[in-house]
Chain A
Amino acid sequence: MDHDVKISALNVNFYYGKTLTLKNISLDILQKKVTALIGPSGCGKSTFIRLLNRMNDLIPGARVEGQILLDGLDIYHPRTDVVSLRRRVGMVFQKPNPFPKSIFDNLAYGLTISGMRDKRFIEHKVIDSLKKAALYNEVKDRLHDNALMLSGGQQQRLCIARCLVVEPEVILFDEPAASLDPISTRKIEELILELKDEYTIVIVTHNMQQAARVSDFTAFMYLGELVEYGDTERIFTVPKEKMTEEYLSGKFG
């Protein structure tokens, strides 16, 4: 793989209390590519993706071993600033989670918390991000309506737009279409394919077809271990591991 590595995980172990839920994961995520994490429920794919922006810090009793490097920066180093890390590594969650605020305020939030006061800049950035997230045309006349009035699919694109406002380098998608209908799902997938020109994308999905459609690289995880990782086309056509082949052909999962 002759691309630039954006995120590099080295021998990562993760514990919930005493339970080891990720076992010795090492994996390089490449710049401006879509990397999909697949595997059956409970395989640790969501846990892994939430390590990349330190969302697991919120869980009491959680512990990480090993290293995760973002452009060489050790994100679990005690001196690493979590706030600036999370501005570089954005996240879109499984269930759309807009704030109970207006569409505009949802997007402006990421800017105002960092002290931005320039109203014209904020407005420009909000509209720009809504356009990038393919939502602007649907909401341009009601930017000051409550975001919770939007449909599920629109809410999820709003969350993507909200994430784009802070100009992250990496966007993590944790099963972004799990609660959406097929049409909304397709819109999200199209969006991911557009966004990969500018952003490094990691997506967790339990939908194998979705991984095949959107990703350049696929990692198959099972019971906390990384079973196989490589070029998506190769993984889906000639998997090296028997377990990968069995999962992809629907024998378990």
Chain B
Amino acid sequence: MTRQTFSRTRPYTAGRRQAVRASDLTQALGFLFLGACTAFALFFLGSILYFVIVRGAPAISWEFLTSVPRRAMTQGGVAPAIVGTFYLTLGAVAFALPLGLACAIYLTEYSPKTILVNIIRLSIANLAGIPSIVFGLFGFAVFVKVFGFGVSILSGSLTLGIMALPGIIAASQEAILAVPQSYKEASLALGATHWQTIARVVLPSSLPGILTGVILNVGRVAGETAAILFTAATFYTRGYPNSIFSEVMALPYHIYALMTEGTHPESQTLIAYGSSLILLSLVLAVSALAIILRQRQRRVYGP
């Protein structure tokens, strides 16, 4: 490997071979080390995917995707959990997107540049570091108990939405700040108001970036377990939720339940891997959507 590097650089360094050799060696070792680290990281990602696919694939069937669990969750499908995760995620988006976007607009476009506002910014960033189980307890105390929503889709969605909020605000702020000042100046110089400029120039230009941020953060909370543990999820439902006040099954919690309770570990483990594969596919599909959106943004608005 080092030999190859030498021969490649020789034409440029013929005059100072001795000194160059030492630094070339360092460089080659450096590349080797960095490459090995990258390979190592990829190895973990690859092995997780491999593991989940190999163990989970045998469980997947049309019936698995579309039917309810049977015989104390040792047979049947996981459809209610898929539906539950879908509703919880949708609810989280419906709550966190408007709120996060409004926050980001205020912080970037309207807030005065004071110490207080800087503290607010920092606090929002720190919100992202709170452990999810704490969000879960908060959701239980506030949404389930104080507001009286009970253990329900509504309580769970709100809790997940709050969890996604810091990321959505940060991503939206970044997207808004990335809009060239020259667009804003052009709009204002034509006699547009500040709000018209935001609504008709800034937001359309930053929308793909905002959506990317929303999708990535919502994808993250879709797989969240601790936050819905006390607020939305239930061990088993006979059918599908019929209102936002219903408690639901959800894929992450279903996996947890399968692995910790019940009396038939073998058949339950298979279903747990199958559920993991579905959850993983959902989150990856959502991330892929975010990447596609970002590519489209680059095409339209330049890098």
Contacts and interface: CB of A to CB of B under 8 A. Distances in A.
Contacts of B196: 113
A90 B302 contact: no
A146 to B, nearest CB: 7
B191 A109 contact: no
B116 interface: no
A86 interface: yes
A113 B192 contact: yes
A90 B301 CA distance: 25
Nearest to B182: A97
A100 interface: yes
B187 interface: yes
Nearest to A110: B190
A55 B191 contact: no
The winner among B184, B190, B196, B300 for most chain A CB atoms within 10 A is B190
B190 A86 contact: yes
B300 A163 contact: no
Contacts of A113: 187, 190-193, 196, 200
B115 interface: no
A100 B299 CA distance: 11
A190 to B, nearest CB: 23
A100 B200 CA distance: 11
Contacts of A60: 113
Contact of A163 (B180, B190, B201, B301): B190
Interface in A109-153: 109-110, 113-114, 146, 148
A97 B191 contact: no
Given A97-B182, A114-B191, A159-B186, A148 B200 contact: no
Please report whether the interface of chain B is mostly helix, strand, loop or mixed according to DSSP: helix
B189 interface: yes
Contacts of B200: 109, 113
B182 A110 contact: no
Contacts of B190: 86-87, 90, 109-110, 113, 162-163, 166
Nearest to B184: A58
A236 B201 CA distance: 43
Contacts, number: 66
Contacts of A58: 184-185, 188
B185 A97 contact: yes
B182 A86 contact: no
Contact of A100 (B187, B191, B300): B300
Nearest to A87: B191
Contacts of A90: 189-190
Interface string B261-303: 0000000000000000000000000000000000000001110
B183 interface: yes
Nearest to A106: B186
Given A113-B196, A113-B200, A86 B183 contact: no
Given A83-B193, A84-B191, A113-B192, A146 B300 contact: yes
B205 interface: yes
A99 B186 contact: yes
Nearest to B112: A60
The winner among B180, B189, B191, B302 for most chain A CB atoms within 10 A is B189
A1 to B, nearest CB: 28
Given A99-B201, A100-B205, A148-B302, A110 B191 contact: yes
Contacts of B192: 83, 109, 113
B191 A86 contact: yes
A92 to B, nearest CB: 9
A97 B183 contact: yes
A166 B192 CA distance: 11
Nearest to A81: B191
B188 to A, nearest CB: 7
A84 B190 CA distance: 9
Interface string B48-76: 00000000000000000000000000000
The winner among A86, A113, A146 for most chain B CB atoms within 10 A is A113
A218 B192 CA distance: 31
A162 B113 CA distance: 33
Interface string A42-79: 00000000000101001010000000000000000000
Nearest to B179: A100
Nearest to A84: B191
Nearest to B299: A146
B191 A166 contact: yes
A104 to B, nearest CB: 15
Q: What are the 9 A-B residue pairs with the smallest beta carbon separation, nearest first?
A: A87-B191, A97-B182, A91-B189, A110-B190, A86-B191, A113-B192, A97-B186, A113-B196, A83-B191
20 contacts: A55-B185, A55-B188, A83-B191, A86-B188, A86-B191, A93-B189, A97-B180, A98-B186, A99-B186, A100-B205, A101-B204, A109-B200, A110-B190, A110-B191, A113-B192, A113-B196, A146-B300, A148-B302, A163-B190, A166-B191
Given A86-B190, A87-B190, A95-B182, 14 more contacts: A55-B188, A58-B185, A58-B188, A83-B191, A90-B189, A91-B185, A93-B185, A97-B183, A99-B201, A100-B300, A101-B204, A113-B192, A113-B200, A148-B302
